[in-house]
Amino acid sequence: MFRPFRFAVNMLTSGTAAEWREKCRRAEALGYDVILVPDHLGMPAPFPALVAAAEVTERPRLGTFVLNAGFYNPALLARDVAATDQLTGGRLELGLGTGYVKDEHDRAGLPFGTPRERVDHLEHTVTELGRLLADPGHTPRAGQFPHVPLLLGGNGNRVLRLTARHADTAAFTGATADAGGNLSLITPDALEERVAAYRGFAADRETPAELNYLVQMVLPGKDRRAIVRDLAPKFPGLSEDDLLNHPALLTGTVRDMAEQILAHRERYGFTYFTVLDPALKPFAPVMEELRGA
């Protein structure tokens, strides 16, 4: 039995205060369940943006997607998480990852460790956050005491094991990053293997985690194969069939895209899908098509 679908939009741009508020209102009106903010230099600052979103919306959950753990000291992060959860009326969902863009750490004057060191820091951050936020003496106190829902994102075995132990939501991108932070899609079969690895690590969980997937492109049109044929040069190593079957790309009519979401739920178990804000409007009819599915 699958969880109910949830749909989120990850807001890459903000604009003026008025433009940001209007964008968040629009996301709620279109039916999105979650409004998310990433954590990259040059993009909206996550916590103030989410507080502002809470002021003009009532229903959507509000989350980080995802914080770069290397940017944060756990004690200071616990303060900001608790305060933001209070100020958003207990609607915060905390997303965390290791961080993968070295240039951002360099510009911030922060160390960018080896993959092992970054996972070590993520594990330390997750453990300390859980301890601090569950402490009755910690101030400020989160609205969702003693546990703010946690999403962890990553593909490597150590992160998947950490996710299996601690996270309410396991997030997958189906991609790998090079030293410059450029993402390359892995094949659908490789993604399926990563999800299977996670399920193995989480086999002893009493309550299975929700599985999230980040959709990179939503491309309406009548001829799906023509769409992916035009995209193929951007994705070396993937065939047209790989692209047609990859959850990173939703293509075709509204019904086509709804059927792709249903197929990805069946194959991978994904029930929580995130789109990027350029797809805010194009994806809305797909959500409507899937409500109750």
What CATH number has the domain bearing residue 271?
Answer: 3.20.20.30
Q: What is the pTM of this model?
A: 0.97
Give the pairing type, strands 183-185 and 175-177.
antiparallel
| Predicted pLDDT at 141 | 97
Structural domain of residue 193, as residue ranges?
6-290
Domain-embedded: residue 235: yes
Task: Please provide residue 88's backbone torsions phi and psi, each rounded to the nearest 5 degrees.
Answer: -100, 10
Helices (H), the chain: 17-30, 46-56, 74-87, 102-108, 115-133, 157-166, 188-201, 224-231, 240-244, 254-268, 284-290
Residue 214 falls inside a structural domain: yes
pLDDT (0 to 100) of residue 261: 98
- Residue 127 identity (one-letter amino acid): T
Query: Is 100 within a domain?
Result: yes
Residue 252 lies in a domain: yes
Closest CA to 256 of 216, 292, 283, 231: 283
- Per-residue pLDDT at 183: 78
Reduced to 3 states (helix: H, G, I; strand: E, B; else coil), residue 202 is: coil
Q: How far apart are CA 116 and CA 134, in angstroms?
A: 27
User: How many Å separate Cα 219 from the centre of its chain?
Assistant: 20
In a domain? residue 1: no
Q: What is the pLDDT of residue 179?
A: 62
- Mean pLDDT of the chain, nearest integer: 96
Whether residue 164 is contained in a domain is answered as yes
Q: What is the pLDDT of residue 1?
A: 81
Specify the pLDDT at position 54. Answer: 98
How do the pLDDT tens digits run along the chain, 293 residues long?
A: 899 999 999 999 999 999 999 999 999 999 999 999 999 999 999 999 999 999 999 999 999 999 999 999 999 999 999 999 999 999 999 999 999 999 999 999 999 999 999 999 999 999 999 999 999 999 999 999 999 999 999 999 999 999 999 999 999 998 887 767 677 999 999 999 999 999 999 999 999 999 999 999 999 999 999 999 999 999 999 999 999 999 999 999 999 999 999 999 999 999 999 999 999 999 999 999 999 77
CA–CA separation, 45 and 113 (whole Å): 23
- Provide the domain count of the chain: 1
Question: Is residue 142 in a domain?
Answer: yes
